[in-house]
């Protein structure tokens, strides 16, 4: 087992635990935006797709590099934009109907 693999494995396992801890505290109302946010974060695969270009040197390699870059970019850009759209709706609306102080904050009562 190489040192690099051991390092990778350590990082992987610790990141899993961080993921469990960070996520389990989110209220149900934010689950869909959260799913979408997590969805955009796996768009990091764009970094991997870009690195394909470093070693690509034949037609098949270039096709793979193109498709991977397109897929990953679609994931990351679309994911963040749609998450942003969803979250924008949680913003407080000063002109909301009902009139009273019920819209003072987006925070749960």
Partner 1 sequence: MSTFLWTTQLLYVIAASCFVLGLHLMNNPATARRGNQVSVAGMVGAIAVTLAIVIHSGAVSATGWTVMLAGALVGSGIGLYSARSVQMTAMPQLVSMFNAVGGGAAALVAIHDYMRLTDAGASVATSTTVTTLLDVLIGSVTFSGSIIAAGKLQGVINSAPVTFPGARIVNVLLGVVVLGTGGYLIATPSLIGLVVVIIASLAFGVAMVLPIGGADMPVVISLLNAFTGTAVAMAGFVINNWALIIAGALVGASGSILTKLMADAMNRSIPNIILGGFGTGDVAVAALGGSGSIQSVMADDAAIQLAYASKVIIVPGYGLAAAQAQHEVAALADLLESRGVDVSYAIHPVAGRMPGHMNVLLAEANVPYPQLKEMEDVNPEFARTDVALVIGANDVTNPAARRAGTAISGMPILDVDQAKSIIVIKRSMGHGYAGIDNELYANPKTSMYFADAKTALSELSAAVKTLVG
C-beta of 105: minimal distance to partner 1 in Å? 6
Token pair recorded at residue 105: 């904050």
C-beta separation of 79 from 36 below 8 A? yes
C-beta of 108: minimal distance to partner 1 in Å? 7
Site string for partner 1, 3-32 (x = CB under 8 A): -xx--x--xxx-xxxxxx-xxxxxxxxxxx
Applying the rule CB under 8 A, the residues between 33 and 92 that interact with partner 1 are 33-57, 60-92
94 sits near partner 1 (criterion: CB under 8 A): no
Tell me how far apart the alpha carbons of residues 34 and 19 are, in angstroms, rounded to a whole number. 12
C-beta of 58: minimal distance to partner 1 in Å? 8
Tell me how far apart the alpha carbons of residues 36 and 92 are, in angstroms, rounded to a whole number. 21
Tell me how far apart the alpha carbons of residues 3 and 9 are, in angstroms, rounded to a whole number. 10
- Total number of residues binding partner 1 (CB under 8 A)? 94
């Amino acid at each position: 087992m190489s040192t690099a693999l051991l390092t990778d494995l350590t990082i992987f396992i610790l990141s899993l635990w961080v993921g469990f801890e960070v996520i389990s505290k989110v209220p149900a109302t934010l689950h869909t935006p959260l799913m979408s946010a997590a969805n955009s974060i796996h768009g990091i695969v764009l970094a991997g797709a870009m690195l394909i270009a470093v070693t690509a040197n034949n037609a098949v390699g270039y096709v793979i590099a193109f498709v991977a870059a397109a897929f990953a970019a679609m994931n990351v850009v679309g994911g963040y934009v749609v998450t942003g759209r969803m979250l924008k709706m949680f913003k407080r609306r000063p002109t909301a109907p009902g009139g009273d102080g019920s819209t003072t904050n987006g925070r749960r009562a």
